[in-house]
Homo-oligomer: A and B are copies of this chain.
Amino acid sequence: MIKKNINVGIIGLGHIGGRLYKEIISKKSDIELKTGSKVNIVAISAKNYKKKRSFKFKKNLFYKNPILISKNPKIDIVFELIGLSDGISKKIIETALKNKKHVITANKAVIAKHGDYLSLLAEKNNVNLEFEAAVGGGIPVLRTIKDGLSTNKISKVVGILNGTCNYILSEMETSKDSFKTVLKKAQSLGYAEPRDPKYDLNGLDSLAKVRILSAIAFNKKISRNKCLMDGIENIEIKDIEMASKLNFRIKLLGITEIINNKLFERVHPCLVKKNNYIANINGVMNAIILEGKPVGQTILQGEGAGPGPTSSALMSDLLSILRGNIKYSFGSPYKKRKKTSYYDNNKYSNSFYLRIDVKDKPGVMSTIAKNFAKYNISIKNLIQNPDKKNNKASIIIVTHKNIEKNYKNLILNLYKNKFVIKKPTFIRIE
């Protein structure tokens, strides 16, 4: 076992860092009981020393410069809870690992971007780099893949990985309020970033999580491919209502799978049948479905964000380090994780839901039909919702299967028509 007295430093004292601080102090005897180690918080750092906090700390614990925590020879484990993809976050982790300290972070951005490099650094310095909190909040999904399902051959991972988007989509369905109204509600409830919620809404947050999941599930280097990525910003209440009439619900899914030995990662809104398991995950919940051999399908569900679930994941990383030997951040050694070859996104074949908002005038339908014919995309359902008052109409089309490339071209072409009011909204059907 690891040594008896363990000194930790916490960098970043927002909602997460603050909760972790209190959690470590209140669970001290439980940690000792389970691991034999006494954990002491000996250093903290935050942008603003004077900010009002729900806990007190001794002034001499505070470091203005967090890098000094990463360099302090008395410290064994550093928590990085700032959350940038580069800059100071990367520097803190890098310096700590080079100084042979274990690092625990909740930072999906830095891991999705620099995880390969940082995990190699950890390996070289014989320390752990853990980031359970980066994916799925309180759901111990990374540990489940690395340990609980360790020798399974995983072929696909599907998840609701962003609580903000899932809350917005569920709440739009329930309240019938517009995207904008619900986004404001989400911000006031603390479910969405108050200033710039962009990275949650455009899919980038989910994509970072998907990249981490792929690397661990498929034993690969982190992918750098340009993925299929669409956010939920263009989804309107009428899409949700129309989906519901067609017996679907709209969910932002992150999906990663291996097709003919090639990696296919994507994040986009999906229409999923209402009776499907994942269609019934509502609000800020996250859920992850793993397909593995020999285990079969495994589902994990839990709270995806917030101080409680996140500190639960951080604590599990802490105990994992206190309990055992050095583990590989991504489950196997850097050198043995294969380089990735990518599935050609353009070849992906699927059914689409399209909403085309048009000026209501003669000839529109035939032009649209011609466009579809040009790309050999055949129509399964067509519903026209006229808005007589404004002399407009929404045309909803559900297609038979076709490839991404054709859809892309179709949408570009449709948009060239003057009668098309704005870029058509499309949602893939899972």
> What residues on B are CB-neighbors of A302 within 8 Å?
295-299
Against B, the Cβ 8 Å flags (1 = close, 0 = not) of A51-69 are 0000000000000000000
A294 within 8 A of B: yes
Of the candidates A30, A150, A319, the one having the most CB atoms from chain B within 10 angstroms of its own CB is A150
- Once A296-B138, A296-B303 are accepted as A-B contacts, the answer to whether A33 and B149 lie under 8 Å apart by CB is no
Contact B331 A298 (CB under 8 A): no
A27 within 8 A of B: yes
Set of chain B residues within 8 Å of A299, measured between Cβ atoms: 299-302
Q: Copies per complex?
A: 2
Measured CA separation A332–B325 after assembly (Å)? 18
CB within 8 Å of B: which A26-50 residues: 27, 30-31, 33-34
**B-chain residues with CB within 8 Å of residue A1 when the two chains form the complex:** 325
> Measured between alpha carbons, how far is A247 from B381 in the docked complex, in Å?
33
Chain B residues whose CB sits within 8 angstroms of the CB of A376 once the complex forms: none
CB pair A33–B294 under 8 Å, yes or no, is no
Residues in B with CB closer than 8 Å to A151 are 23, 27, 30-31, 34, 312, 315-316, 319
A308 at the interface (CB under 8 A from B): yes
Name the B residues within 8 Å of A30 (CB-CB). Answer: 151
- The residue from B19, B320, B323, B332 contacting A34, defined by CB atoms under 8 A apart: B332
A328 to B30, CA, bound (A): 14
In the complex, A345 Cα to B311 Cα: how many Å? 35
Q: Is A358 in the interface zone, CB < 8 Å from B?
A: no
The answer to whether A294 and B323 touch (CB under 8 A), given A147-B143, A148-B132, is: no
Check if A389 is an interface residue, CB within 8 A of chain B.
no
Q: Given the complex, which residues of B lie within 8 Å of A303, measured CB to CB? A: 295-298
Shortest distance from the beta carbon of A19 to any chain B beta carbon, whole Å: 7
CB contact under 8 A between A149 and B316, given known A296-B138, A300-B300, A323-B325: yes
Which chain B residues lie closer than 8 Å to A293 at the CB level?
308
The interface residues of chain B lying within 8 Å CB-to-CB of A149 are: 138, 140, 312, 316
User: A299 to nearest B CB, angstroms?
Assistant: 4
Which 4 pairs across A and B sit closest by C-beta, in order of nearness? Answer: A140-B148, A294-B308, A324-B324, A295-B312
